[in-house]
Amino acid sequence: MSRIIFAGTPAIAAECLTELLKASAEADWEIVGVLTRPDAPVGRRRKITPSPVAQIAAEAGLPVIKAVKVDAEVTAQLQQLNPSLGVVVAYGALLPQPALDVPDRGWVNLHYSALPKYRGAAPVQHTLLNREKTTAATVFQLEKGMDTGPIHGARTYEVPDMSSAGDVLEDLTSLGARMLVELIPDLLAGTSRSVPQQGTPSLAPKLTREDAFIDPAKPASELVGRINATIPEPGAWTFNGHDRMKLGVARLFPREAGGEPGEVKTLTSDRNRGEEAVVMTAGDGRGVVLSEVQPAGKRMMSATDWLRGQQGAVRLGGSA
């Protein structure tokens, strides 16, 4: 029976590992070990917690290697597992050449863009930031360069309106996990026909808290992209007076909103149906429909309930 090692850390990787474990029950291959990042503080109380992948691996009784980087010692541990193939989904560190050489068939990586577009740590976030309408889940052969290897398979994905980066990641994970299960037999047999990446590469570095600041002076389409791209991490935010406030997913208002940039009011979004929406005016005069907000020290709530509780005119924005 062929032996596969899995490298990953966050919840999306844990979902992929779960799907591979289910598929292995009726396959001629098995998951024999997991590489993941070390336990880390989680939540407000900063409780030291195993990664989601480590938790799934422990439930399945798999050997778990926890490492910040893959050095000679970790590489030796991988060699002891005698793998035929390695699968990576958001592990969080690059694999050096000695580790790449451990499995007989090398390593494949599930990436969340149509490579070579958006190589790097945050492909989905940059897809939404740039208001792209389509992206893809891509499985490619890992090599020393960052996300540069030949492609074994890709599945195109249409980005729904009012989708956060978290929503798109979940959908692409389901799509990618199914693709991995389909590709593994050919990958193990060495019969998968990979093709070189084609097109102009672009980079997708991790977004910072500063990247998530929402400045209403910007055009409405840019604001919608930035809001949705930065949810759930690092979290879209702006100012309401001197207080910071987080924002939920947003969409474009179908017409001019009127008022000054940052002004928030209730407008009729569909005149035929009489539907109303909470709208923030952008720098180009267009409107941004806000679905939810989280005032400082409170939980996320509907934008309608929040605005109803405000006294006087409301204007968001300021300097980050």
203 has binding-site annotation: no
Residue 270 has pLDDT above 80, yes or no: no
Whether the predicted model's global pTM rises above the 0.85 cut: yes
Quick one: what percent of the chain has pLDDT higher than 90? Answer: 88
Name the residue range of residue 297's domain: 220-315
21 has binding-site annotation: no
**Shared-domain flag, residues 27 and 167:** yes
185 has binding-site annotation: no
**Shared-domain flag, residues 224 and 298:** yes
114 has binding-site annotation: yes
**In the predicted model, what is the mean pLDDT of residues 240-269?**
93
Residue 273 has pLDDT above 70, yes or no: no
**Shared-domain flag, residues 127 and 247:** no
Nearest-angstrom CA–CA distance, 183 and 194 = 11
The two tokens of residue 18 are 């779960």
**In the predicted model, what is the mean pLDDT of residues 24-34?**
97
Per-residue pLDDT, 271: 57
* H or E, element range at 173: helix 165-189
Per-residue pLDDT, 125: 98
CATH of the domain at 97: 3.40.50.170
Residue 73 has pLDDT above 60, yes or no: yes
Band of residue 320 on the pLDDT scale cut at 50, 70, 90: low
With respect to residue 260, please indicate whether it lies within any of the assigned structural domains: yes
Mean pLDDT, the chain, whole residue set: 95
Number of folded domains that form the chain: 2
**In the predicted model, what is the mean pLDDT of residues 132-145?**
96
**In the predicted model, what is the mean pLDDT of residues 17-31?**
97
Per-residue pLDDT, 46: 86
Per-residue pLDDT, 44: 75
**In the predicted model, what is the mean pLDDT of residues 100-123?**
97
Ramachandran area for residue 81 (φ above 0: left; ψ -120 to 50: alpha; else beta): alpha
With respect to residue 206, please indicate whether it lies within any of the assigned structural domains: no
**In the predicted model, what is the mean pLDDT of residues 296-309?**
94
With respect to residue 194, please indicate whether it lies within any of the assigned structural domains: no
**Shared-domain flag, residues 72 and 185:** yes
With respect to residue 198, please indicate whether it lies within any of the assigned structural domains: no
Nearest-angstrom CA–CA distance, 70 and 109 = 16
Residue 129 vs residues 84, 163, 171, 231: alpha-carbon distances, Å: 38, 12, 18, 11
Residue 193 has pLDDT above 80, yes or no: yes
With respect to residue 207, please indicate whether it lies within any of the assigned structural domains: no
Per-residue pLDDT, 274: 61
* H or E, element range at 187: helix 165-189
Residue 319 has pLDDT above 90, yes or no: no
**In the predicted model, what is the mean pLDDT of residues 29-56?**
93
Nearest-angstrom CA–CA distance, 158 and 171 = 10
The two tokens of residue 259 are 């008022």
